[in-house]
Amino acid sequence: MQLLLALLPIGVFAANVQSEIDCGREFQVKAVEHEGFRFVRWSDGNTDNPRSIVLTQDTTFTAEFEKNEYTITTESANDEWGTAAGGKIALYLDEIEISATPNYGYHFTQWSDGNTDNPRSIVLTQDTTFTAEFTISRTGTCGDNNQLTWTFDPETKKLVISGNGTLNSNYTFGLEAPTQTDSLIIAEGVTSIGNYAFYNCSSLTSVTIPNSVTSIGESAFRNGNQLQKITLGSGIETIGNSAFANCPYLITIYAQMEFPPIIDASVFADCGDLSGIDCYVDDASLAFYKKTAVWKEFNLKNSSTAPTTQYTVYFVDWDGTILSQQNVAEGSNAVEPVSPSREGYSFSGWSSNQTITETTIIVAQYQKEQAGEIPVYFVDAEGQEISRSYIIDAAPSAPVIEGNPFVAWMAETGDISEGITIRAIYSDFATPVENISASSSTQKILRNGHIYIIRGEKVYTLQGQEIK
């Protein structure tokens, strides 16, 4: 007698199984788990898997399954820089949201698997740990409604504020910027600077405020213990109390306002003797400044006599050696030093020598020489190098000399172990013909450094080629 066995899965996508089994025969059944699910029990409560069964009647066994539980763990790579949240225990294929929150002065960069979404949705398929990675902020938003952008360069220690809007709140310039900024540039488009915006920026040495700024708030630059130079844009109408107080090293002010704003003595309090601070103004405005309270206390000068701003330029070799250090006026070019040398390489020029507008590092550039190669130098008639090559495939254009047509390139003889020099040769129509030998039928002449043979009315080279 045969009985019918039916196996029905619950909680997993699988086909039902039916088999005919001899009555009284012992056999095994097994529930097969699909990915993400686990077997719980059979419908009769038995939890063995596999299990042995002796059939005595038609029977249906239902295998019951449940989703696996998985743990998602979130952590921070550096708890001082930020935190991570969203870790929990959840079921297979559940969607979980995780997030990273940076501390002040830092920003989130990525999760440990390279994903940069924050917050981020995760579909759970296994136990997983996600580590939030952070870095020091060197750019971000600031100002009212985050309309402005700040950028800090840790190498030059320059802080730049740009965009269009007011800087009356949200002075979040990152962790490094407030304490390490040497130079502050506020770009055109910023219209106001709020109270205490740069209070206690003790490393600041210079401030440039654009023409678009109309107001500077109370104590905006107070306690600038290293501040030496201030440039005030032409649009400034009001300056709050103590805006530049306690800046004891202030020595130069460039005031570009046509009419000096009315200020009280607190604006430049504790800046030392104001008569020792040079204040440059336009010649047409000097009379106004000389009659205005506080401003008249400065050493007022015509802006046309202001010293030219100079920047330091460094010419540096490939290994960091400083070859030349120069102070160059803004808008000028540095003087290139003698070309350096490097064993196994050929000097090919400098990385740049553009118009100087800031402290600049110019690095020597080299071309690697290949073993066994001999450099070829192309020079003009005076011996000045035009170009250099290691594979002669095409000669450069020869410089034009008026009245002296270019003839050819000629390689100079001598020791070639250190290179080959190829000189530009030109024709000189003014060179007289010199008769160096003659016979009844032929004569040799020297012209432009070349010997020619004349037979009758025909002219030949020494190789016998007729010159038409």
* Integer Cα distance of 130 and 119 in angstroms: 12
Higher pLDDT, 430 or 259: 259
pLDDT of residue 7: 43
**Are 26 and 75 found together in one domain?**
no
Mean pLDDT, residues 77-82: 88
- pLDDT tops 90 at residue 122: no
Average pLDDT, the chain: 78
The values of phi and psi at residue 453, to 5°, are: -115, 130
pLDDT for 186 equals 85
Q: Are residues 172 and 265 in the same domain?
A: yes
Spatial neighbors of 464 by CB under 8 A, at least 6 apart, are none
Tokens linked to 45: 């409560």
Q: Domain total for the chain? A: 6
> Strand 310-316 to strand 322-329: parallel, antiparallel, or no bridges (unpaired)?
antiparallel
- Which of the residue ranges 53-57, 146-150, 202-206, 417-421 would you say has the lowest mean pLDDT? 417-421
Looking only at the bridges linking them, the beta strands covering 345-350 and 360-368 are: antiparallel
Q: Do 249 and 180 sit in the same domain of this protein?
A: yes
Contact 99, 108 (CB under 8 A): no
Quick one: 97 and 62 in the same domain?
no
119 cis-preceded (ω within 30 degrees of 0): yes
pLDDT of 430 higher than 80:
no
Assess whether pLDDT exceeds 60 at residue 309.
yes
124-138, 240-254, 424-438, 449-463, range with the lowest pLDDT? 424-438
Whether residue 191 sits in one domain with residue 301 = yes
Q: Kindly tell me if the per-residue pLDDT of 200 is higher than 80.
A: yes
Give the pLDDT score at 5.
40
Confidence of residue 136 (pLDDT cuts 50, 70, 90): confident
Band (pLDDT 50/70/90 cuts) for residue 392 is: very low
Contact criterion met (CB below 8 Å) for 130 and 100: no
For residue 363, pLDDT over 80 is answered with yes
Q: What is the pLDDT of residue 29?
A: 81
User: Which of 135-144, 287-296, 366-375 bottoms out in mean pLDDT, i.e. has the lowest?
Assistant: 366-375
Among 369, 383, 395, 371, CA closest to 421: 383
Same domain, 176 and 233: yes
Domain of 328: which CATH number?
2.60.40.4270
> Three-state DSSP class for 259?
coil
Tokens describing residue 305: 């006599």
How many C-beta neighbours within 10 Å does residue 266 have?
17
Residues 149 and 290 in one domain: yes
Give the residue, 416 or 421, on which the prediction is more confident.
421
Quick: pLDDT tens for 227-273. Answer: 988 989 899 999 999 999 999 999 999 999 999 999 999 999 999 99
Choose the weakest-confidence range: 29-33, 284-288, 300-304, 386-390: 386-390
E strands, 128-273, in order: 128-136, 139-142, 148-153, 158-163, 165-167, 183-186, 190-193, 206-208, 215-216, 229-232, 238-239, 252-255
- 209/241 same-domain check: yes
Q: Which helix (H) or strand (E) holds 3?
A: strand 2-10
Of 427 and 141, which is predicted with more confidence?
A: 141
On whether both 106 and 235 belong to a single domain, the answer is no
Q: Among 26-30, 101-105, 420-424, name the one with the lowest average pLDDT.
A: 420-424
- Residue that wins the pLDDT comparison between 353 and 451: 353
Q: What is the pLDDT of residues 182-194, one digit of tens each?
A: 888 888 889 999 9
Residues 249 and 272 in one domain: yes
At residue 305 the predicted structure's pLDDT band, cuts being 50, 70 and 90, is confident
Q: Is pLDDT larger for residue 340 or for residue 404?
A: 340
Q: For 325-353, what is each residue's pLDDT tens digit?
A: 887 777 677 888 988 988 888 888 887 76
The pLDDT of 213-238, averaged and rounded, is 92
For the ranges 121-125, 417-421, 443-447, the maximum mean pLDDT occurs at 121-125
More confidently predicted of 344 and 71:
71
More confident residue, 297 or 20: 297
Q: What is residue 418's predicted lDDT score, i.e. its pLDDT?
A: 57
9: number of Cβ within 10 Å: 20
Instruction: Provide the whole-model pTM.
Output: 0.46
pLDDT at site 335: 87
Last residue of one domain, picked from the residues 67, 87, 105: 67
Query: What are 60-69's pLDDT values in tens digits?
Result: 878 888 888 8
| Interval 13-48: pLDDT, tens | 333 445 566 667 777 888 888 888 888 898 889 988
Which domain, by its residues, includes 250?
139-305
Q: Which of 136, 166, 190 is the last residue of a domain?
A: 136
Calpha distance 185→209 (Å, rounded)? 7
Task: Identify whether residues 255 and 156 lie together within a single domain.
Answer: yes
Do 73 and 62 lie in a common domain? no
Measured CA to CA, the distance from residue 371 to residue 190 in angstroms comes to 58
CATH of the domain at 206: 3.80.10.10
Residue with tokens 């579909």: 123
